Every structure is written in C-alpha cells, then in structure tokens.
Structure 1
Amino acid sequence: MTPGTRLLVNAQGERYRFDPGSLSLELLLTGGPGPYERYEIAHTPADLAEWFTGSRLALTAPLTDVQIRPAELAALKELRGALYRVAPALAHGEAQSSDDVVLLNDATAATPRPILAPETRRLAWAPPVTGKQLLGAVARDAIGLIAGERSGRVRECSASDCYLLFFDTSRSGNRRWCSMERCGNRAKIRAYRARTETV
C-alpha cells in the first residue's frame, strides 16, 4: 500500500483505504482522547515508531531507523490531542485556540533531515529519525494546513455518520468523502435507490 494511505476497518468489519492527504491528519488515525481511545495503537514508543515507517514521510524516502523515547511519545500524543481540536476547527472554518497555536509553534524545532545515501545517491532520512524530529514534521504540516498554501482545504467527510478528516488534494477542490470505497459508495447506492424508487 502507498505510504500515507491507511487500511481502516468499519464497525461491520469491512476494510477500506483512506488517504488523509496530510501527515498531521494521518496521525489522528493512531487513536486519541475520549471516544478515540478505543482506536489507540501507540501504546509504546516502538508501536508509534513502526507506524511512522508507513506514514506520508515514507513517500519522500524510506524510514528505516526511527527511534522514539517515552517522553517523545508523550509529546506526540499531546500534539495529537491538539490536532483533534485544530483539525475540526479548520474543517468548519473556525479559529484555533491560542494554546494550540503555541503548542504547534513550540513543536517545530527539529524535523527529519533529508540526505543523499552515500551508497545509492538516493534520497534518505539521516538516521536516526527521532521522536522530536517527527513531532516537528507533524507540527510543521499542521501549520501549513492552517496558514500555508494549503489552507482552506481541510474537510470532514460528508457522510452524516463519519467524522474522518482529510486534506483535499483533488484538482477541483471538491472531494466530499473520506473514501469512495466506503462513504462515497454508500452515498451512490442511496442516490440510486432514491432514483429507482421514484420511477
């Protein structure tokens, strides 16, 4: 599967692919506060390190040496908690809190460093990639969603029972569904049934 695209499972056990289009929105899929605790996958630093190897960062270059310390795991979870407030606010055109903006700004100190691999002359990440660098990459991505060229394109799935958030990378800027395999397909089926019932 392409890095950054995740395989999710709905309540009925059906699997579908979801591409949130953004590293910071992708991090929301690892669990979270309140009702999202049941989706938690980042129980240990090693759990989150393994998850990052399949993240959007691996689109640029493979992540082979990820090292996250316990304090960095806690910081990444704190940032993720802020993203659960920031991202829905973006999707609904609301302002972010000052506390969340400070948290994002403070997290950007370090990011993974791209290098040319000496043996292959291909792009690589300078090892090790640390939790602090991953924190910075996620925070910078979120700042880009708020104030960069990409602002204004964070969306919430249009299905009434789905709250997945994504960055709309479509050329037209009119993506409506988290996934055509799931919510988009269900909407098409409902529209088809509504048309055939009126005939």
Structure 2
Amino acid sequence: MILNPPDGGSFRFDPGALCLELLLTGGPGPLARFEVLDTPAGLLDWVAASRLEPPGLRLPPVDEGDLAAVREVRDALLGLTAARAHGRPLAAAGLAVVNAAAAVPPLAVRMTATGQREWAPGASVAGLLSTVARDAIDLFTGPHAAAGRIRECASHDCYLLFVDTSRPGRRRWCAMERCGNRHKVRAHRARTRSEGEEPCPQD
C-alpha cells in the first residue's frame, strides 16, 4: 500500500497480511491523527486499496455503527499485533473482539460463467470484518515461521507493524526506502563524524 505520512515522502509499505493492512487506518492515542475510518468513504477507500481478492467488493451503505465496529476490531488487532511483536501476552479483551468478529460468516466468492472469481451478493461490513479477523487468526496460529515473524519497524520513531515474509527472515524496516534509508544516512553521518575527529594535541 502507498502511505503518505504527514512529514511528506510517500512510500510503499507491505505489512504482509490483510489484517495488518487494517492497522494503517489510524487508531487510538497518537495514531488518531491518521484516522480514516471516521467516514464511509475512508472505509471504502481502504477496501479498494487493500489486498482483498477479487477486487471490486461492493458494500451496502455504511453507517456510523459499521464504522465503530471496524474501529473496534482494528484497535483490538493493533493491541494483539504489538503484543505479539514484543513477546507480550495477548490481551483477553482483544482476543474476544477478534473471535467474535470471526464467528460471523465471512465474505463469499463465486465463479462466473467465464471462469472468473467475483464477490457473491450479500456482502456486508460484518462479513468484511469476519474475513479480516479470520486472516488474523490464521496469521497468529499458523506456521511458526510466520507467527514468529510479526515485528515492529526497528526505527525508534516508527511504529508500523508487519509480518516478515522474506525468505531469510531478516526484515527490520517498514520499508528500505523510508526507515531503512534513514538509518543508513544516520549511520553514515555518525561514521563520518567519528572518522573526522582529530586527537587532542598532547602538552
């Protein structure tokens, strides 16, 4: 997904899972300035930009109750993902929210006469949340190689969460073009300053 932070410099960020893409829509506390799930258009824009397949999901009119439900699931996922990234216990309240969302029938697909996939009629926000919640359950309880690779960007001032899907499993940054490059620049400057220091003359 393309992120446009307030400080400029848009960049591509791949969190590695549908459920983690939802975390890019804002959140509580300091994340409130990124909030986009305060309007139906914000939710629909996220759906269109997400990795939901097939594309073109159509939802019925979204109301404030729907938006509140999506924010609740997102905030629960945010807490659970951060806890997993830092090796903390998973909060019971967050688990209850995600499990309740997953208990609803998810979005359904069907095959067209031309052999293509499309969303079946009857899509709803509840079905969308079930699909996201089930994706989170698959991520958290799936193969250890994936479940153990949920991480937070290593930059001290970036809190983006992702699952490292690379083969070596050594991803540290939200994106090399942003935090990775910033780290390289800081390290280069520090190294240059260190190499440029002259020893104090002896009396």
Bucket of the pairwise TM-score, normalised by the shorter protein: 0.7 to 0.9
Map 1:172-183 to 2 at 5 A. Answer: 172-183=168-179
**Structure with the higher strand share, 1 or 2:** 1
Displacement after TM superposition at 1:81 (Å): 1.4
SS of structure 2 residue aligned to 1:115? strand
Quick check: 1:62 aligned with 2:64? no
Match 2:101 to one of 80, 97, 107: 107
Match of 1:98 in 2: 92
What CA distance in whole angstroms lies between the structure 1 residues aligned with 2:60 and 2:42?
11
Paired letter, 1:26: E
Match of 1:43 in 2: 38
Match of 2:164 in 1: 168
Match of 1:81 in 2: 75
Match 1:22 to one of 12, 17, 27: 17
What CA distance in whole angstroms lies between the structure 2 residues aligned with 1:117 and 1:136?
24
Quick check: 1:123 aligned with 2:117? yes
Displacement after TM superposition at 1:194 (Å): 3.4
What CA distance in whole angstroms lies between the structure 1 residues aligned with 2:166 and 2:98?
26
Q: Percent identity?
A: 48
SS of structure 2 residue aligned to 1:67? coil
TM-score, normalised with respect to structure 1? 0.88
Map 1:133-172 to 2 at 5 A. Answer: 133-149=127-143, 150-172=146-168
Asked whether the 8 Å contact 2:12–2:175 carries over to 1, the reply is yes
Identify which range, 144-153 or 75-84, moves more after superposition.
Answer: 144-153
- Structure with bigger gyration radius: 2
What CA distance in whole angstroms lies between the structure 2 residues aligned with 1:156 and 1:90?
10
What CA distance in whole angstroms lies between the structure 2 residues aligned with 1:74 and 1:67?
16
Asked whether the 8 Å contact 2:3–2:11 carries over to 1, the reply is yes
What CA distance in whole angstroms lies between the structure 2 residues aligned with 1:156 and 1:132?
28
Paired letter, 1:147: T
Identify which range, 96-105 or 162-171, moves more after superposition.
Answer: 96-105
What CA distance in whole angstroms lies between the structure 2 residues aligned with 1:68 and 1:183?
38
Unaligned ranges ≥5, structure 1: none
Deviation per residue, 1:17-58 (Å, 9 max, x gap): 11111111111111111221111112223431232021111x
SS of structure 1 residue aligned to 2:147? coil
What CA distance in whole angstroms lies between the structure 1 residues aligned with 2:60 and 2:151?
32
Asked whether the 8 Å contact 1:114–1:126 carries over to 2, the reply is yes
Displacement after TM superposition at 1:68 (Å): 5.3
Asked whether the 8 Å contact 1:49–1:68 carries over to 2, the reply is no
Deviation per residue, 1:95-150 (Å, 9 max, x gap): 111121121111112211121123x3112221343101110011112112221223
